[in-house]
């Protein structure tokens, strides 16, 4: 039996035992890269990728049963956000430049990671640390001024806790579909990666059962022409819903997430802020978390502006608050208010789109596909796309959304036929 790892040992990406003390050893790629950089020579292909993989693999902290690897994308928000906000509090022009640049940088990083189809904890870390740091600044800089009561602090704290609880629920299983892949080639996969006729009889999907029932029904009636037509339609539909990567027939409205690498029931989109998909099982928790965040954020902004800009209307104080930069505490609080306002505006737009999509019973994925295939129509100035496929009216659509994930009675193929 292998010896257990001590707190500073770990198994590296090559499968060998290593130690944290030796993190700067065996750095041939880094040495070669530095030497070529000093001599103005180009690096061989793949050198930078190998250096990055080595650094990420060795970035660990001691733990009980061996050193654990830390995702490096967690660290930039923890370091840069406080630095930027404190620098922005020094002068109005610095605040203008920094608060304008932050959304641009975040969007650039989003499109960079999205194009590479990679998952990152940067946005989840940024969101959670922003919440914690704003709450810390509120308790340290705003509450001691004496204008915020104990009850108001309790309400704000409860809102923050409820939002985190809803966020933890949204992080759970969104409705992943179990993959049918095995070591051997799937018997229901043809040479072109699509299901052959056997899958329609053996799959536990709805289309397989329906086509099998149709086939048996028409066989009994000896209607060869009708059977052939119905079977062809069933095969076409099964090929359309077949996922070659997960080796399964997707149920209606399910989709394959290229970032998570799995199929999800009623897939809406992959949210980088929770680092997970939004699907059938966590969509309601996702909407609840967004709503609680907006309410808590607006309430915190109101309390802060009412403290540092006494006697002014909240909307006026947000743009004009004389004497804010007279002392550093007020300047930092005002800068954090503007940071919260920018984030709240972005999350409010996301929530608006989500509520409109629910009202028209369409998911983000379905809207994108409808625009790509030119099968949907834009409504309300183009911010929502109605596919017309599942829209059954406002009340019915919301009733269906509020019952997502509820068990539905199973029907046999004979009942369907």
Q: What is the pLDDT of residue 70?
A: 84
Calculate mean pLDDT across residues 241-270. Answer: 88
How far is 360 from 381, CA to CA, in rounded Å? 15
pLDDT in tens, 204-234: 444 444 444 444 444 444 454 444 454 444 5
Position 191 scores a pLDDT of 40
Q: For a pLDDT cut of 70, what percent of the chain falls above it?
A: 82
- Torsional sign, CA 82, 87, 92, 95: negative
Give the mean pLDDT of the chain. 81
- What distance lies between CA 295 and its chain's CA centroid? 21
Q: What is the pLDDT of residue 216?
A: 47
Compute φ and ψ for 393, nearest 5 degrees: 105, 155
Q: Is the pLDDT of residue 139 over 70?
A: yes
Task: Judge contact between 329 and 89, C-beta under 8 A.
Answer: no
Catalytic residues: 271
* pTM listed for this prediction: 0.78
Q: How many residues does the chain have?
A: 417
What pLDDT, on a 0 to 100 scale, did the predictor assign at position 304?
94
Q: What average pLDDT does range 2-31 have in this prediction?
A: 78
């Amino acid at each position: 039996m292998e010896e257990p790892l001590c707190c500073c040992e770990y198994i590296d990406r090559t499968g060998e035992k290593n130690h944290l003390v030796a993190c700067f050893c065996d750095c041939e790629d880094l040495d070669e890269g530095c030497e070529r950089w000093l001599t103005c020579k180009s690096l061989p292909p793949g050198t930078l990728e190998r250096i990055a993989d080595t650094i990420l693999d060795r970035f660990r902290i001691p733990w009980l049963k061996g050193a654990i690897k830390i995702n490096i994308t967690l660290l930039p928000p923890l370091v840069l956000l406080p630095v930027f906000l404190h620098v922005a509090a020094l002068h109005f022009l610095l605040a203008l430049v920094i608060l304008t640049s932050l959304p641009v940088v975040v969007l650039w990083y989003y499109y960079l990671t999205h194009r590479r189809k990679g998952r990152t904890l940067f946005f989840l870390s940024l969101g959670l640390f922003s919440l914690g740091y704003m709450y810390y600044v509120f308790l340290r800089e705003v509450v001691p001024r004496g204008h915020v009561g104990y009850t108001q602090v309790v309400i704000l704290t409860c809102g923050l806790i409820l939002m985190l609880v809803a966020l933890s629920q949204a992080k759970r299983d969104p409705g992943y579909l179990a993959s049918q892949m095995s070591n051997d080639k799937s018997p229901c996969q043809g040479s072109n990666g699509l299901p052959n006729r056997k899958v329609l009889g053996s799959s536990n999907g709805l289309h397989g059962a329906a086509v099998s029932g149709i086939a048996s029904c028409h066989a009994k009636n000896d209607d060869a022409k009708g059977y052939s037509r119905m079977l062809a339609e069933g095969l076409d539909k099964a090929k359309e819903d077949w996922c070659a990567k997960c080796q399964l027939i997707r149920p209606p409205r399910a989709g394959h997430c290229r970032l998570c690498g799995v199929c999800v029931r009623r897939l809406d989109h992959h949210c980088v802020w929770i680092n997970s998909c939004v699907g059938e099982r966590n969509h309601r928790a996702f909407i609840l978390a967004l709503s609680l965040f907006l309410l808590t954020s607006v309430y915190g902004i109101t309390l802060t502006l009412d403290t540092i800009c006494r006697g002014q209307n909240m909307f006026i104080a947000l743009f004009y608050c004389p004497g804010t930069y007279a002392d550093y505490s007020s300047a930092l609080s005002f800068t954090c208010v503007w940071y919260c306002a920018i984030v709240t505006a972005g999350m409010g737009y996301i929530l608006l789109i989500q509520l409109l999509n629910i009202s028209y019973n369409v998911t983000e994925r379905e809207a994108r596909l409808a625009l790509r295939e030119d099968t949907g129509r834009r409504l309300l100035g183009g911010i929502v796309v109605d596919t017309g496929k599942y829209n059954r009216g406002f009340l019915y659509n919301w009733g269906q959304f509020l019952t997502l994930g509820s068990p539905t009675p199973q029907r046999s193929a004979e009942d369907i036929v």
